[in-house]
Each structure stands twice: as structure tokens, then as C-alpha cells.
């Protein structure tokens, strides 16, 4: 398997399943309602904020793969759009899944030598490091999402989302 196919497969597995961890974004978010997605658990980020944050870095990476500036700011990476309805939540979820597939498809098109070229600016390292970083970042926050979902599910009858109550 080529490097580009392997990296694209890793993105797809993180988002759509089939990896050896048996955890992926699609399954983890299955059944999460918009109210759960925006429920604050203790002092943790909400599921909606984490989903937005995971996806935030894909668009700048796609820009770079297309020869454009990344056009992003870490300070905006948790600026989750309004999730005031089930429709808002489903739109965010759909966008995340579409962006993941677009990212994987673009990675598959890369020439293998591109992976070792600078990712826009020397300070960001190379393309491989950034793609791998996005995969690691996804799994890191996916673990948080899974734990928050478990807390929300367990707190159906008791209020464990607010430690001050």
C-alpha cells in the first residue's frame, strides 16, 4: 500500500471505522442529540465544541494541499457555531464527515514526495507530520467525546453535569 493510500485510510478509519481501536467519530457521535452535544459536563468542553475543534484543522490542511495559505487561527479552533437545534447539530456532524472524506480523497491524490515537503511554513514541519498530527489529534479528542457521552448517558436520572448542584 502506498503512503498516500495508508494515510487516507487512517483518516477514514478515525472518522468512519474499521481501525483496530474499534472507536471512530461516526459511531461515537451516533445517537448524540443536539442537547447532549451542547451540554456542559463539569468544566470540560462540550461534545459540539470538541467535534468542531477536531474538524477545525482539516480545512487549513486542505488549503495547504491546494497551494493556498492555511488561513486559520488557534484562537478560533473552539469557536463552535450555534447548535440551537437538532438541525444545527446534524449539519455540523455532516460537515465534519464530509470534510474528513474530502481530506482523505486529497491525501490519496498526493505524490509520495509531497509528504516530505514543508507544510506551508518551516515552523509547521512537513506534510506527513501535519496529516499524522491531525489523525492523533482526532483520536485524542475522540477519547474525550466518548467519556463525556458516557457521563451524559449515566447521568440520565441524576445531574452529574453540574458539580455545584
Residue ranges per structural domain of the chain: 3-154
Would you tell me how many other CB atoms lie within 10 Å of the CB of residue 54? 25
- Write out the chain's pLDDT in tens, 165 residues: 999 999 999 999 999 999 999 999 999 999 999 999 999 999 999 999 999 999 999 999 999 999 999 989 898 999 999 899 999 999 999 999 999 999 999 999 999 999 999 999 999 999 999 999 999 999 999 999 999 999 999 986 455 455 444
- 61-87 pLDDT per residue, tens: 999 999 999 989 898 999 999 899 999
What's the pLDDT score for residue 155?
Answer: 83
What's the pLDDT score for residue 95?
Answer: 96
- 133-153 pLDDT per residue, tens: 999 999 999 999 999 999 999
Long-range CB contact pairs, 131-140, < 8 A, 24+ = 131/7, 131/11, 131/61, 131/107, 132/7, 134/11, 134/57, 134/58, 134/61, 134/103, 135/7, 135/10, 135/11, 135/14, 137/54, 137/57, 138/14, 138/15, 138/25, 138/54, 139/14, 139/21, 139/23
Tell me the CATH architecture of domain 3-154.
Up-down Bundle (1.20)
Global pTM reads 0.90
Amino acid at each position: 500500500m502506498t503512503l498516500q493510500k495508508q494515510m487516507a485510510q487512517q483518516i477514514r478509519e478515525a472518522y468512519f471505522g474499521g481501525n483496530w481501536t474499534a472507536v471512530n467519530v461516526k459511531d461515537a457521535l451516533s445517537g448524540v442529540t443536539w442537547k447532549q452535544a451542547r451540554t456542559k459536563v463539569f468544566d470540560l468542553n462540550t461534545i459540539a465544541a470538541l467535534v468542531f475543534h477536531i474538524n477545525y484543522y482539516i480545512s487549513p490542511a486542505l488549503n495547504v494541499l491546494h497551494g493556498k495559505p492555511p488561513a486559520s487561527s488557534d484562537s478560533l479552533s473552539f469557536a463552535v457555531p450555534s447548535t440551537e437545534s437538532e438541525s444545527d447539530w446534524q449539519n455540523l456532524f455532516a460537515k465534519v464527515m464530509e470534510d474528513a472524506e474530502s481530506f482523505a480523497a486529497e491525501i490519496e491524490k498526493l505524490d509520495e514526495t509531497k509528504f516530505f515537503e514543508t507544510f506551508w511554513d518551516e515552523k509547521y514541519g512537513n506534510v506527513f507530520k501535519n496529516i499524522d498530527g491531525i489523525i492523533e489529534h482526532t483520536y485524542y479528542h475522540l477519547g474525550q467525546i466518548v467519556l463525556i457521552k458516557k457521563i451524559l448517558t449515566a447521568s440520565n436520572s441524576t445531574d452529574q453535569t453540574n458539580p455545584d448542584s
